[in-house]
Amino acid sequence: MQKLIKNLSHIWNKFKNNHKSFWDELEEQMVASDISINTTGKILEEVKNHVYSENINDIEKIKSLLKDQIIEILKTDGNNNLNISPIPPTVFLIVGVNGTGKTTSVAKLANMFKGNGKKVLISAADTYRSAAVEQLQYYADKLGLDMVYHQKFSDPGAVVYDSVEKAKARGIDLVIIDTAGRMQTSYNLMEELKKIKKVISRRIDREVDEILLVIDSTTGQNARNQAELFNNSLHLTGIILTKTDGTSRGGIVLTIKNDLGISIKLVTDGEKLDNIHYFDPVEFTESIFS
Amino acid sequence: MFELLTTKFENLFYKIRNKGKLSPNDLDDALREIKLALLEADVNFKVVKEFLENVKAKSIGENILESLTPYQHVVKIVNEEITRMLGSTSSGVIFASKGPTIIMTVGLQGTGKTSAVIKLANFLKNKFQKKVSIVAADVYRPAAVLQLEDMAKNINVDVYSENNSDPVSISVKGIALFKKSGSDVIIIDTAGRLHVDENMMNEIVNIRNKVSPHQIYLVLDAMTGQEAVNIASTFNQKVECDGIILTKLDSDTRGGAALSVYYMVKKPVKFVSNGEKIEDFDIFYPDRIASRILGMGDILTLVEKAEKVVSEKEARRIEKKIYKNELNFEDFIGQLRSIKKMGSLDKIFSMMPIANKSKIFKKVNLDDSYLSHIEAIINSMTVEERRKPHIINGNRKKRIARGSGSSVSEVNKLLVQFSKTKQMLKQFSGSKGKFNLPLGNL
């Protein structure tokens, strides 16, 4: 996303000569950041309205109008913090398609809450992928945390059941559940997640505290489908945007927030365990413009 | 894959088709729709621009406005252009002329390199009868080597790995070892890396310089957005890729990245990976995908899949029976099992040329357990009942329902569907198709 606004000054000359080609160019740049064509249209419509009704002729003002529009979409009414239950254990369920960085995000979250003095338990509910348990075990060992796991191909619902029961028995504050990657279009695997969710809420007598969808910032328009279908099945509480240390612009989160109202809660940006941050709409937008 | 693009083109051409003749405005409308569809499909915006210019120039050049069949004309031009963007011929597998073929896979984190390596190994082993081995050069991701070894065990392929060593010397040693042991193909699985990570990119350059792979494949997630072009061109600049392995095509991604990468980087998509199973891997056929985008379905792939699992003799026998209207549940269950071997139902469905698939998708659960359910009901029939379905009366239905853990109404439903399918198949038989799918009940 970084490149987006830098180029704005380059195309500024066009504005002076030919408004249409300026807006076209701007539209292209936004689409090139993976913002959907619809969201782009909506944002530019608002900006144009201001520009023409207020006779704005200054690139800095147009920039700040753009910023405002983007912040307006990204900001949430309440705070963006993760929901911690007054009655322990709090349970986070981490879901997503294959290869987005779920396991690494689980480790980073665990590290973050361990640092806050919480007793964290990791639940290895990806019983499908080869060595998924061993990968997670590596992180659990590194962080000195307990992990609940079963045999390969066993029922992930049972792993989750055990995890919550153990957490209750041992006075754990937070259970973080890693699930197998799955395509949002796979009916059976989405049903499996619904079942996992049901198992948890039955054990804790309330809705799952956080159900977070992990989205790879390299993903294009399909990320919207992912968010929509995972949300239809599970009622997501938020999104973790990963791999933002690459060159991808992650503009699709704007579309997801705009179309589906799902907030981005966390961002990860590196290989280290502390490369995880709460998402801040203003900061995110500023970083686009810097 | 390419779902929405297909739907968009279908609707668009439907509109044009009803009009008969095309006006200049119609052409502009059509081009605008195509632009939106391509952008929503993650086709790179630069590629979209050029694509539209080409289609427009060709349309005017071929005097499309005067054509009495403008619909067919635009379809033809768009189809040609998309095929051209995807590379016009399938590039296939290339083996070294002497000694083992060394293949290196590279790519970003999480694109599915390790799965692709296993699937490729399995593909080359089964389809070309090659002895394949794998070198585990991902020393960074925890348990990556374990994952590779575990999956390789399933397909009986050897893996070379080493603790506490660097990827370059692991590759060198692994290849030396497998050369000695007579491997035909040696695949190096490297760690995922960001294309902007200078050190990590130099690592694959070093591996390439030391072992000189015959083929270097970039593993690219089909869901990648506009960045796909930058990613592919950076990897290509560093290590000169020979082609792309496009993964995760089993999602509803529109896969525009595939179009962009070939067009901008001039590297062909060689293979596609499209499912959780090891067999979900194939050579990429650009023309087939282009016709799929245009809503013509991917019938060729489907026919090939069918041929793989149904012998010609068996197909002829069934065809005869269909023709004589003698098809019974024994044949049906045989066909059912063949279909299951061809892959998951939704995948088969996605290859068929049916308009408005997404709508039907929503109504029907293309769940494989549906097939298992039908299989259970048929399994609960006696041999006589399977051969002569008409003898199944109320008492028999009750027994079959009990035996298969279903209800009488479900048994009824199957019987009705079966007789409908039978009728439908009879109508189709006599046509050239070697294999008729009993999917009419969907």
Q: What is the pLDDT of residues B69-123, one digit of tens each?
A: 565 667 677 777 877 777 656 667 889 988 899 999 999 999 999 999 999 999 9
Of A23, A39, A74, the domain-final residue = A74
Above 50 in pLDDT, residue B356?
Answer: no
Of A74, A98, A131, the domain-final residue = A74
For an interface test with A, the pick among B7, B138, B276, B357 (most A C-beta atoms closer than 10 Å) comes out as B276
- Is B223–A183 a contact, with Cβ atoms under 8 angstroms apart? no
pLDDT at B55: 86
Percent of chain B's residues with pLDDT above 70: 69
Confidence of residue B438 (pLDDT cuts 50, 70, 90): very low
Q: Say if A188 falls within a structural domain.
A: yes
Above 90 in pLDDT, residue B426?
Answer: no
Above 90 in pLDDT, residue A74?
Answer: yes
pLDDT mean over A167-194: 95
Query: Do A264 and A120 reside in the same domain of the chain?
Result: yes
Cβ-contact A260, A227 below 8 angstroms: yes
Q: Enter the tokens of residue A184.
A: 């949002």
Q: Where are the alpha helices (DSSP H) in B86-157?
A: 113-128, 144-154
Query: Do A153 and A239 reside in the same domain of the chain?
Result: yes
pLDDT at A85: 95
* Domain interval for residue A59: 3-74
Q: Say if A16 falls within a structural domain.
A: yes
> Coil, strand or helix: which one is B381?
coil
pLDDT mean over B343-367: 52
Query: Do A104 and A156 reside in the same domain of the chain?
Result: yes
- Is B365–A101 a contact, with Cβ atoms under 8 angstroms apart? no
| Chain A contact for B223 (CB, 8 A cutoff) | yes
- Is B39–A31 a contact, with Cβ atoms under 8 angstroms apart? yes
Query: Do A173 and A256 reside in the same domain of the chain?
Result: yes
Of A41, A74, A107, the domain-final residue = A74
Q: Enter the tokens of residue A98.
A: 């294959």
Q: Which of B18-27, B148-157, B189-198, B358-367 has the lowest mean pLDDT?
A: B358-367
Distance CA B272, CA B270 (A): 7
Query: Do A120 and A237 reside in the same domain of the chain?
Result: yes
Query: Do A70 and A24 reside in the same domain of the chain?
Result: yes
> Coil, strand or helix: which one is B137?
strand
Above 60 in pLDDT, residue B160?
Answer: yes
Query: Do A143 and A260 reside in the same domain of the chain?
Result: yes
- Is B367–A187 a contact, with Cβ atoms under 8 angstroms apart? yes
Q: Which of A87-91, B185-189, B332-336 has the lowest mean pLDDT?
A: B332-336
Query: Do A47 and A132 reside in the same domain of the chain?
Result: no
Q: Which of A15-29, A77-91, B124-138 has the lowest mean pLDDT?
A: A15-29
Residue A127: is it exposed, middle or buried by C-beta count within 10 angstroms (0-12/13-18/19+)?
Answer: buried
In chain B, what residues touch A249 (CB-CB under 8 Å)?
226-227
Q: Is B163 left (phi over 0), alpha (psi -120 to 50) or beta?
A: beta
Q: Say if A83 falls within a structural domain.
A: no
Read off the CATH number of the domain in which A208 is found: 3.40.50.300
**A219 vs B223, B365, B369: nearest CB:** B223
Q: Say if A80 falls within a structural domain.
A: no
Read off the CATH number of the domain in which A34 is found: 1.20.120
Cβ-contact B120, B281 below 8 angstroms: yes
Query: Do A119 and A243 reside in the same domain of the chain?
Result: yes
Query: Do A138 and A24 reside in the same domain of the chain?
Result: no
Confidence of residue B233 (pLDDT cuts 50, 70, 90): very high
Q: Say if A79 falls within a structural domain.
A: no
Tell me, what's the ipTM? 0.90
pLDDT at B71: 58
Q: Tell me which amino acid residue A218 is.
A: T
Q: How far is A54 from chain B (nearest CA, A)?
A: 30
Q: Say if A133 falls within a structural domain.
A: yes
Cβ-contact A171, A119 below 8 angstroms: yes
Percent of chain B's residues with pLDDT above 90: 37
Q: Where are the alpha helices (DSSP H) in B299-407?
A: 299-309, 312-323, 329-342, 345-350, 357-363, 368-379, 383-387, 394-404
Q: Say if A81 falls within a structural domain.
A: no
Backbone angles phi, psi at B136, to 5 degrees: -90, 95
* Run of H or E residues at A45: helix A37-53
pLDDT in tens, A128-149: 998 999 999 999 999 999 999 9
Query: Do A115 and A173 reside in the same domain of the chain?
Result: yes
* Run of H or E residues at A138: helix A132-143
The number of folded domains in chain A is: 2
Query: Do A55 and A129 reside in the same domain of the chain?
Result: no
pLDDT at A81: 85
Cβ-contact A102, A185 below 8 angstroms: no
Above 80 in pLDDT, residue B389?
Answer: yes
Q: How far is B261 from chain A (nearest CA, A)?
A: 14
Compute the count of residue pairs across chains A and B with CB atoms less than 8 Å apart: 132
pLDDT at A258: 95
Domains of chain B and any CATH numbers: 3-85 (1.20.120.140), 101-295 (3.40.50.300), 300-428 (1.10.260.30)
Interface of B with A in 35-74 (CB under 8 A): 36, 39-42, 44-45
